[in-house]
C-alpha cells in the first residue's frame, strides 16, 4: 500500500512508543512499572461513572451536535468564567475527542504551507508532528532549566517572523512541570501585542494540578485584550482522572471554532455522547477529589525526588505543576552497562532502565530536550518506591 510522504516523515509518539514496548515486555512475562504514560492512577469518581450509566439508560447514545451538547458547552462556559475569569459564549466553545484532537483541528484549520508555529522546548511530544501534518513548520525554541523551562519575552521576540502563525503555550507544562505566573504571561503578552498576526494556543490541560504557591493563570485571564487571538484548550482527562473517556474542550474566536467544527464534522463528528454526559457531571459535580489528589501528587513528587536525588548522575528539580519529574541524566552518558554497552544518549539510558530495572520512562529527546528523562509520578507510592529502588540499583551497575 502506498503511504504518503507526509506521513512517512511523521514520528511515532515517543510516549506511545515506550508504552507499547513496555506492554510487549509485560506480555512476555516481565513485571514492568509503567511510568511513561501520563495519566492518573486514580479511578474516575463514582458519581461521574453513574452519570454515564444514567445517560446511556436514558437514551443519550445517539449523535449530538458536532461541537458538543448545549448542556455541556454551557457548563464549560461557566467553568471558564468562574475559574479563569474568561467569557466564552456557547457558540465559541467546541467539545472534541480529547484536547489532543482540538489542538490538531485548530492547526489544520489555520495553517497554510510555510506557516510557522513557535513551540517552546521541552514540549509535549505531539506538537511538532501535528504542525507538520498541517503543512506547517515547527519552530523549536529551546528553554533551559535556568528559566524554569519557560520561553522568555526575548526568545519569543527573536523567534517571530512574518510567517509565524501560532505560539503554542503549555502550562502547567508536560514534561517540565513549568507554570507561567501572571507576570510571565503579561510579559509575553507585551511582545505579542506588537505582532497582531500571531495567534496563541494555550494548552491548559493540567490546570488543576499545581504545587505550593504556583497559581495557575491562562493568557486571556491576564491579557483580555488578546481574547480574539487566543484558543484556550482544556479538558477533564487529567483533572478528573478521565483519560480514557476522551473529552476535551476549547474556547476561542467564533470563526476559528466554526472552522474546527467543520473539520470535526468531516472526521469524527461529535465526541462520545456518553462521555459528554460524564464530562458534564465532572464539571458540575463535587470538585473535592481534585484537592485530595493534589495532596497525593505532592507526596509522590517528594517521594521520588528524595529517593532519586541521592542517585549519582541524576539531578532533579521540583515541578511547579502537572505530575512529572523531568530528570537530568546527561552525567551518565559514557557509562557502560554490565553487558558492555556504552550509554550515549537519554534514549539508550531509558532502554537500559526498561530492560534491566523494568521501569518504563520517556527520553528527553522525545520532548526536544536531550539529556533528560520524564518520569510520571501519578502512580501508587508502592510502585514509585519500587521503581526508584530499581532505577538506583540499575545505575549502580554502570561503570
pLDDT per residue as tens digits for the range 216-259: 999 999 999 999 999 999 999 999 999 999 999 999 999 999 99
Say if CB 237 and CB 245 are below 8 A apart.
Answer: yes
Would the pLDDT of 26 be above 90?
no
Task: Please tell me the distance from the alpha carbon of residue 220 to that of residue 224, in angstroms, as a whole number.
Answer: 5
Q: What would the mean pLDDT of 43-65 be, rounded to a whole number?
A: 97
Would the pLDDT of 16 be above 80?
no
pLDDT per residue as tens digits for the range 131-149: 999 999 999 999 999 999 9
Q: Is 386 left (phi over 0), alpha (psi -120 to 50) or beta?
A: alpha
Say if CB 375 and CB 361 are below 8 A apart.
Answer: yes
Q: What does pLDDT average to over the chain?
A: 96
Q: What would the mean pLDDT of 362-385 be, rounded to a whole number?
A: 97
Structurally, what CATH architecture does the domain formed by 5-43+288-396 represent?
Answer: Alpha-Beta Complex (3.90)
- Confidence band (pLDDT; 50, 70, 90) for 117? very high
- Give the domain ranges of the chain: 5-43+288-396, 46-284
Would the pLDDT of 25 be above 90?
no
Q: What are phi and psi of 169, to 5 degrees?
A: -110, 135
pLDDT of residue 94: 98
**Alpha-carbon separation of residue 141 from 122, 159, 168, 235, 251 (angstroms):** 9, 7, 11, 26, 26
- Confidence band (pLDDT; 50, 70, 90) for 5? confident
Considering only the C-alpha atoms of the chain, give the largest distance between any 2 of them, rounded to a whole number of Å: 63
pLDDT per residue as tens digits for the range 247-270: 999 999 999 999 999 999 999 999
Would the pLDDT of 6 be above 90?
no
- The span from the first CA to the last CA of the chain, in angstroms, equals 47
Would the pLDDT of 321 be above 90?
yes
pLDDT of residue 229: 98
pLDDT of residue 47: 98
Q: What would the mean pLDDT of 164-181 be, rounded to a whole number?
A: 98
359 three-class SS = strand
Please identify which residue in the block is written with the cell numbers 482544556: 234
Task: Please tell me the distance from the alpha carbon of residue 299 to that of residue 302, in angstroms, as a whole number.
Answer: 5
Say if CB 228 and CB 58 are below 8 A apart.
Answer: no
Say if CB 140 and CB 123 are below 8 A apart.
Answer: yes
Each residue of 109-133: b (16+ CB within 10 Å) or e?
A: bbbeeebbbbbbbbbbbbbbbbbbb
Q: In CATH terms, is domain 46-284 a member of 3.40.640.10?
A: yes
Neighbouring CB atoms inside 10 A of 1's CB total 2
Amino acid at each position: 500500500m502506498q503511504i504518503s510522504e507526509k506521513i512517512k516523515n511523521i514520528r511515532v509518539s515517543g510516549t506511545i512508543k515506550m508504552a507499547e514496548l513496555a506492554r510487549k515486555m509485560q506480555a512476555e512475562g516481565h513485571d514492568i512499572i509503567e511510568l511513561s504514560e501520563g495519566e492518573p492512577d486514580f479511578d474516575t469518581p463514582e458519581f461521574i461513572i453513574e452519570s454515564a450509566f444514567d445517560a446511556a439508560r436514558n437514551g443519550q447514545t445517539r449523535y449530538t451536535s458536532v461541537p458538543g451538547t448545549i448542556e455541556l458547552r454551557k457548563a464549560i462556559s461557566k467553568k471558564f468564567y468562574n475559574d479563569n475569569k474568561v467569557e466564552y459564549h456557547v457558540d465559541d466553545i467546541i467539545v472534541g475527542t480529547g484536547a489532543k484532537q482540538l489542538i490538531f483541528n485548530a492547526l489544520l484549520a489555520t495553517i497554510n504551507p510555510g506557516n510557522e508555529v513557535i513551540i517552546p522546548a521541552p514540549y509535549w511530544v505531539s506538537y511538532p508532528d501535528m504542525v507538520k501534518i498541517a503543512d506547517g513548520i515547527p519552530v523549536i525554541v529551546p528553554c533551559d532549566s535556568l528559566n524554569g523551562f519557560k520561553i522568555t519575552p526575548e526568545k519569543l521576540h527573536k523567534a517571530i517572523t512574518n510567517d509565524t502563525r501560532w505560539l503554542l503555550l503549555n502550562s502547567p507544562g508536560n514534561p517540565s512541570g513549568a507554570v507561567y505566573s501572571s507576570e510571565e504571561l503579561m510579559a509575553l503578552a507585551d511582545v505579542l501585542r506588537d505582532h497582531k498576526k500571531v495567534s496563541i494556543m494555550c494548552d491548559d490541560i493540567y490546570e488543576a494540578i499545581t504545587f505550593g504557591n504556583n497559581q495557575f493563570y491562562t493568557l486571556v485571564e491576564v491579557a483580555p485584550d488578546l481574547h480574539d487571538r487566543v484558543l484556550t484548550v482544556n479538558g477533564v482527562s487529567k483533572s478528573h482522572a478521565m483519560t480514557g473517556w476522551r473529552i476535551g474542550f476549547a474556547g476561542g474566536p467564533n470563526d476559528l471554532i466554526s472552522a474546527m467544527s467543520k473539520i470535526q464534522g468531516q472526521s469524527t463528528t461529535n465526541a462520545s455522547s456518553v462521555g459528554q454526559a460524564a464530562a458534564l457531571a465532572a464539571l458540575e459535580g463535587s470538585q473535592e477529589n481534585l484537592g485530595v489528589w493534589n495532596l497525593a501528587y505532592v507526596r509522590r513528587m517528594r517521594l521520588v525526588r528524595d529517593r532519586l536525588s541521592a542517585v549519582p548522575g541524576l539531578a532533579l528539580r521540583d515541578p511547579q505543576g502537572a505530575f512529572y519529574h523531568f530528570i537530568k541524566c546527561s552525567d551518565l552518558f559514557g557509562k557502560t552497562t554490565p553487558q558492555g554497552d556504552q550509554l550515549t544518549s537519554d534514549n539508550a539510558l531509558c532502554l537500559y532502565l526498561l530492560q534491566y530495572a523494568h521501569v518504563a520512562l520517556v527520553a528527553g529527546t522525545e520532548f526536544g530536550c536531550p539529556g533528560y528523562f520524564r518520569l510520571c509520578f501519578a502512580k501508587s507510592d508502592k510502585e514509585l518506591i519500587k521503581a526508584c529502588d530499581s532505577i538506583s540499583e540499575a545505575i549502580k551497575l554502570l561503570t
